[in-house]
Every structure is written in C-alpha cells, then in structure tokens.
C-alpha cells in the first residue's frame, strides 16, 4: 500500500466530505467500496498496525451492527476480530484512508493534510 487507498461507502456523509476534500486538493487516490471490496485480513492487519488507539480507532462501536453482536471484542483474539470484520465490514468506521505509512479514519481535514500527496498547494476548507 504505497498509493493512497480510500475505503468508502457512497451514502456515508463523512465519506462524501472526505472525497470532496481530496478532489478539491487534487489528491490522487484509489477508491474502494468498503462493502464490495472489503479489506483483506492482511490489509486489516496493516491498517490496525497504523492505529494509535488500536481497535477503538477503527471499530464503529456505536453502530447497530456492532451493538447487535453483543460481545466484548476485548475478549477476542486479534485473528477473531479481523475475521469478524472481514465477514461484516459494517463494523468499520468510515472512511478509512491509508498510504501504508499513515492512517486517517473519519473526516478529518487536518489529518488529511498530513497524509496527502499533493499536485498543487492545499486549499483551505471550513
């Protein structure tokens, strides 16, 4: 993963805002539909290795999908959690952007500035 990979879901507001920001700033990225092109186990492990808060950073713990599981993820092994996410990608927060060295989860313009490779100077956004 050296190019910027953008895991997204089209009806997600944060995903649309992030995509607009990337385009407005002429950022090259490879877009992947989070539910149709789910990250592989290997990709998820790479993503998790880039987190500062571990699973809490990428799991959508407030989602009904997560709540309906009625489990404590802290009691699961890493491989069990990864398998669960691959099988049910709605458990991931959206969007997820990574270049293999840095990670941005959710719409965060300040963090996007740190991960983006630019063709031209960044535009200020509100």
1, 12, 73, 76: the active-site residue: 12
Between CA 109 and CA 2 the distance in angstroms is 20
Judge whether 12 counts as a catalytic residue: yes
Please give the radius of gyration of the chain, using alpha carbons only, rounded to the nearest integer. Answer: 15
Taking 3-state DSSP, the helix, strand and coil percentages for the chain, each rounded to the nearest 5, stand at 45, 15, 45
CB atoms within 10 A of CB 1: 14
Between CA 35 and CA 49 the distance in angstroms is 21
**Residues with catalytic function:** 12
């Amino acid at each position: 993963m050296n190019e910027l990979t953008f895991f997204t879901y089209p009806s997600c507001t944060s995903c649309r805002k992030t995509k607009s920001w990337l385009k407005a700033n002429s950022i090259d990225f490879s877009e992947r539909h989070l539910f149709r092109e789910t990250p592989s186990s290997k990709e998820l492990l790479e993503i998790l290795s880039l987190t500062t808060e571990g699973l809490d950073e990428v799991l959508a713990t407030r989602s009904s999908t997560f709540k309906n599981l009625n489990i404590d993820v802290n009691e699961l092994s890493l491989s069990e959690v990864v398998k669960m996410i691959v099988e049910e990608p709605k458990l991931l927060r959206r969007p997820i952007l990574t270049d293999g060295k840095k990670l941005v989860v959710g719409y965060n313009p300040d963090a996007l500035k740190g991960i983006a490779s630019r063709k031209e100077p960044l535009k200020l956004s509100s």
